């Protein structure tokens, strides 16, 4: 019984860290502290996506799959823009 409960607690914690906190960061419902923690978690998730897509894009370009590589580098640029948006609150500094 304890093994199943531990698994559900880990799954629930992962859902809170990976889904709920980034949503709090985007909405700002729980004040500045909740927004700050959510921004950190969302930034970590986006940086991991940035690293993964850029590495796999480089591998695709080296393997002559240029369309896949270009698409993954576009996703990398979108991740960079998303990180900027999360921290600055606007998309372009205009």
pLDDT reported for residue 55: 92
Give a yes or no: residue 93 inside a domain: no
Give a yes or no: residue 94 inside a domain: no
Give a yes or no: residue 34 inside a domain: yes
Give a yes or no: residue 46 inside a domain: yes
pLDDT reported for residue 77: 92
Long-range contacts of 66-75 (CB under 8 A, 24+ apart): 75/49
pLDDT reported for residue 52: 92
The number of domains in the chain is: 1
Helices 31-62 and 66-88 meet at what angle, rounded to 10?
Answer: 160
Give buried/exposed letters for 40-65 (b at 16+ CB in 10 A, else e).
ebbbebbeebbeebbebbeebbeeee
Give a yes or no: residue 63 inside a domain: yes
- The domain containing residue 33 runs over which residues? 2-88
Give the pTM. Answer: 0.71
Query: Does the pLDDT at position 1 exceed 60?
Result: no
Q: Which residue has the higher pLDDT, 25 or 74?
A: 74
38-82 pLDDT, tens per residue? 888 888 888 998 999 999 999 999 999 889 999 999 999 998 988
């Amino acid at each position: 019984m304890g093994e199943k409960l531990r698994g559900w607690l880990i799954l629930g914690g992962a859902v809170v860290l990976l889904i709920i906190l980034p949503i709090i960061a985007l909405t700002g419902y729980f004040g500045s502290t909740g927004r700050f923690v959510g921004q950190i978690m969302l930034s970590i998730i986006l940086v991991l996506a940035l690293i993964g897509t850029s590495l796999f894009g480089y591998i695709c370009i080296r393997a002559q799959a240029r369309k896949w590589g270009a698409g993954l580098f576009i996703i990398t640029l979108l991740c960079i823009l998303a990180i900027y948006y999360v921290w600055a609150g606007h998309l372009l500094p205009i």
